[in-house]
Structure 1
C-alpha cells in the first residue's frame, strides 16, 4: 500500500485550510448581508456565532481527521464506530454536490476576467451575465475551471494543493488590501463605509428572522464545515500541531477577508451611484452585475476589473480544490489506482452532475438551496453529536495533543459542542427545512420545487 501523504509544513496546512474557507461566500454574501442587517451590529453577532458554533464545530472535524489519519468516511470506522461511516459518507456527498455547481460559478469568473479585459459587459452588465451564466458557453467555462482544479489535485497534497495554496492565499490577502487602499481614494468611499459598517441594532432586530439564521449558517458554511474538508485536511496533519491555535488563525483570517471585500466593493458602488437593488442582497447578482456595473464607470475599469476577478478566481479555486480533495482522498484510500486517474474520474463525475446548473441557473439555485439549508446543517449536526456525545473525552485528549495542555478549555469546548453547537445547528436546520418545504410561494408550490420548475 502506498504511504499516505502529509503536509510538508504546518504552514501548508494552514494556508490550505484558509484557502478553503476563503471562498465566494466571503466576496458575494458576507459584505452585502452585513450591510443589510445592521452593519457592525451584524458583524458582532456573526463573530459570536463563529466563536460559539463555527469554531467548536471546526475543532470537532479536526479531531476526527487527525485522530484517524484516513479519509472522512473511513475515519468513523477507525474510531470504532463503523455504523457512523454514514455520517462521513453524507459529508463527502455534500461536498461533491456543492462542488458540482461551484464549478459552474468558477466558469463565470473566468468569463468575467476576459469580459473585463475586453469591456464586453460594460454596456449592459445584466445582459452580459444572462448570456454567460447558462447554456453551452457556461458548460465550456465550467469544464475549463474544473480542469484547472483537477490538475492541481492530481499533483497531490505537497506538490499540488500545498504549493498552489501557498501562492493563492497570500495573493488574495495582498491584492485585497491593495484594492481596499485604492477604493478608499474614491469619492464615494465614506458613504460606502457608512452603508457597510454603521452599527444599527434596529436593522438587526427588524431582520432577525433572516439575519440570525444567515449568521449561524455562514459561520459553518464559510468555515468549510459539513463538507468533510476539515476532516480530510486534518487527516494529513502531524500530532504536534496545535489545533485550537490553527483553527483560530483560520477563523480570524477568513473574517478579515470578508470585511476587506466590503471595503472594496461598497466604495466602488457608491462612487459610481450603482443601484443597490442590483445586488439582490448578495449572491451572483451582487458580484457579476452590481460590482461589474461599478467597474464599467471607472477610468481604469477594465484593468481593475481584471484584477478583482482574478482575486475572485483564486478564492474560488482554493475552495474548489479542497472540495475535490475530499472525494479524491476517499478514493485514494480505497482503490489501488493512481491519484491522477482518480482525480480525473472525480472531475468527470462532477462535470456530469454540474450540467443542469450550467444549463439553467434555476437548477443551480435549487442545488444551492438544498445544500445550504438541508445537507450542510444535517452533516454538521451529525459530526458534532458524534464528537460531543459518542467519543466525548477521547476528543478532548486528541485536541490536547500539541497544545502543551488545554486547561479548562478542553471541558468547556466539549460542553459547548454538546449543548450550544447542537442546539444552534439544529435550530438552523429547522429553519432551513421551513424555508425549503413549508413556506409556499405565490403559486402554492414549495420553493424547493418551484426553483427548479419555474426559472
Structure 2
C-alpha cells in the first residue's frame, strides 16, 4: 500500500469539502424543492436542518475521518470497531448509487452548455429536453461527464481534486452573484423574491393533542411534507451519508479546528443554495412560470426556455449552465473519491487504474437512468428518502453512543473551545439530531412506499 496523500493546505480541504457540498444539490435540486414545497417556508425548514442537523452530522463524519486517516469503511476497523464497518459500507454504496444517476444529469448540463451556444433549445425547450434526457444521446453524455470526473480524480488529492476545487468553488460563487444581480433587473421578477424570502409561518405550526390522556405533538399538512425533503436536501447538498466527508477528512494532516471548518462549509453551502434560488426563482416568475411546475426538470425546460426570450439569452445560458457544470463536477469528484480511496487503502492498485475501473462500473450502473428518466426518478427517490437518512443515522448512533468520548476529544483537538461545547455537540448528536433523522426516515418511507413521491423530472 502506497503512502497516503494529504491536503497541501487547510484552504484546499475547506474548498474541496465546499465543492463536494456545492453541486447539483444546490443548483439543480434546491431551487425547485423550494418552489415545490412552499418557497420561503421550505427555505426556513432547510436552513434549520442545515445548521441544526447538518452541522453536527458533518462534524461526526469529520471526527471519524480525521481520527482514523482511512477510507469510509476502513475507518471503523482502525478505530477498533470492526463490527461497525457496515455503516461505512452503507455510505460507500449510497455515494456510488447517487453518482450513477448524478452523472446522467451532469451529461444533460454538458448538452445544455452547447445548446446555449447554438440556441438549439430556443424554439421549444420542452421538446429539446425530451429529445436529450434519455436514450443514446444521454448515454453518450453520461460517459463524457464520467470521463471528466475520472480524469480529475486520477491526478490525486493535491494535484487533482485540490487544484480543481480551488478554481471551481470561487468561480461558482462569483458567477452566481453576477447572475443574481442580473435576475434582479428582469421585469416581473419582484413577486419571486416575496415567494422565496417571505415565509408563511402558519405552515410551520405544530399541533398539541392528547390521546387517552397523554399529550403528543403532531405536525400535519405542509410541514409533514416539507420536513423529509428539507432534511434530506440538507444531507444531499452537504454530501452527508455518502462517505465523502469521512474520506475528505481522512486526508487532513494537522490539528485544524473541525468545528470551524464544518461551520464554514455549511455557511458557504447555504449561501450558494440561496444565490441559486435568487437566480432561478425570480427568473421563473419573470417568465410567468408557476412555482414548482415541472419539478427539477424545470431547470432544463422553464429556465432554458426563459433564455430564449431575454436579451443576450445565449450568453446568459452559457454562463448559467457553465456554473451548473462546474458545481456538478466538484461534487461528483468527491463521490468517486470515496470508492477510489477504499481501493487504494486496501489493494495494491494505482490511482489512475482504479479511478478508470470504478468510473466504468458507475457508468454501467447509470445506464438505466440514462435510458429512461423513470429509472432516474426511482434512483433519486430511493437515495433521498431511504439511503441518505439511513446512512446518516448509522453514523450518528456510532459517534453518539458507541465512540462517544474519543469522538468528543477529537472534535476539540485544534480548537479553543472548552469541554462544555464538545459535550453539547455530543448531546445534540445523541438526541436532537438523532430524533430528527429518525422522523425524516419514517416520513420518507411513508412517502416512498405510499405512492405520493413527486417525480423530479417531467414525464417524457
**TM-score interval, smaller chain:** over 0.9
Q: 1:276 aligns with which of 283, 290, 294?
A: 290
Deviation (angstroms), 1:175:
0.4
Question: Tell me, what secondary structure is at the counterpart of 2:172?
Answer: helix
Superposed counterparts of 1:314-333, under 5 Å: 314-333=326-345
Structure 1 spans left out of the alignment, 5+ residues: 442-446
Runs of 4 or more consecutive aligned structure 1 residues displaced over 6 Å after TM superposition? none
Matched, 1:234 2:249: yes
Instruction: Decide which of 266, 270, 279 is 1:255's aligned counterpart.
Output: 270
Partner of 1:292: 304
| Cα distance in 2, alignment partners of residues 132 and 227 from structure 1 | 28
Q: How many residues end up aligned between the 2 structures?
A: 443
Q: 1:440 to 1:216 in 2, by over 3 A?
A: closer
The corresponding residue for 2:124 is 124
Contact 1:70–1:333 (CA under 8 A) maintained in structure 2: yes
- Gap change, CA 1:278 and 1:425, over 3 Å in 2: closer
Matched residues in 2 for 1:298 and 1:204: separation?
37
Deviation per CA, 1:330-385, whole angstroms, max 9, x where unpaired?
00111111100000001110111111110111111111111111111111100110
Deviation sequence 1:50-81 (CA, Å, 0-9, x none) = 22211111000000000000101000000101
Residue in 2 that maps onto 1:79: 79
On the 8 A contact 1:95/1:227 being kept in 2, the answer is yes
For the 8 Å contact 2:142–2:370, the answer to whether it is kept is yes
Verify: 1:336 aligned to 2:351, yes or no: no
What are the superposed Cα offsets for residues 164-216 of structure 1, whole Å, 9 maximum, x if unpaired? 00000000000001111111111123222122212212345551121122222
SS in 2 for 1:279: coil
Query: Secondary structure of 1:408's match?
Result: helix
Aligned to 1:21: 21
What residue is the counterpart of 2:441 in the other structure?
A: 429
C-alpha separation in 2, matches of 1:256 and 1:52: 16
| Matching residue of 2:8 | 8
Contact kept? 1:37, 1:204, Cα under 8 Å: no
Q: 1:363 to 1:32 in 2, by over 3 A?
A: closer
* Structure 2: runs of 5+ lacking an equivalent: 206-220
- In structure 2, the CA distance between the partners of 1:368 and 1:345, relative to structure 1 (3 Å rule), is same
My pick for the range that moved more, 8-17 or 256-265, is 256-265
Residues 84-111 of structure 1: per-residue CA shift (max 9 Å, x gap): 1111011101100110110000000000
| Distance across 2 between alignment mates of 1:169 and 1:440 | 38
Shift of 1:35: 4.0
CA contact (8 A) 1:91 1:228 kept: yes
Q: 2 CA distance for matches of 1:200 and 1:405? A: 37
1:402 paired to 2:402: no
Q: Which residue of 2 aligns with 1:415?
A: 427
Q: Is the 8 A contact 2:35 2:292 kept in 1?
A: no
Q: Per-residue deviation at 1:277?
A: 5.9
SS in 2 for 1:143: helix
**Does 2:358 correspond to 1:346?**
yes
Instruction: Please say if residues 35 and 291 of structure 2, whose CA atoms lie closer than 8 Å, have aligned partners that are also in contact.
Output: no
Q: Distance in 2 between matches of 1:126 and 1:71?
A: 42
Give the 5 Å matches for 1:151-190: 151-190=151-190
Residue 361 of structure 1 aligns with which residue?
373
Cross-structure match for 1:444: none
For the 8 Å contact 1:134–1:358, the answer to whether it is kept is: yes
SS in 2 for 1:307: helix
Whether the aligned pair in 2 keeps the contact of 1:38 and 1:201 (CA below 8 Å) is no
Match of 1:276, SS? coil
Is the deviation greater in 23-32 or in 322-331?
23-32
Shift of the 409–130 alpha-carbon distance from structure 1 to 2, 3 Å rule, reads same
Deviation at 1:22, TM superposition (A): 0.8
Distance of 1:39 and 1:342 partners within structure 2: 43
Q: Deviations over 1:216-261 (max 9, x none)?
A: 2222221110000000000001231100000000001011111111
Assess if the C-alpha contact under 8 Å between 1:27 and 1:312 holds in 2. Answer: yes
The DSSP-based 3-state class of the residue aligned with 1:94 is helix
Partner residue of 2:223? Answer: 208
Distance 1:37 1:91 in 2: 27
State the Cα distance separating 1:293 from its structure 2 match.
1.3
**Match of 2:417, SS?**
coil
- Is the CA contact 1:28–1:286 (under 8 Å) kept in the aligned structure 2? no
Contact persistence 1:31–1:196 (CA under 8 A): no
Q: Secondary structure at the match of 2:70?
A: coil
Using the alignment, how far apart are the partners of 2:349 and 2:36 within structure 1? 49
Mapped to 1, the partners of 2:60 and 2:292 lie a distance apart of 39
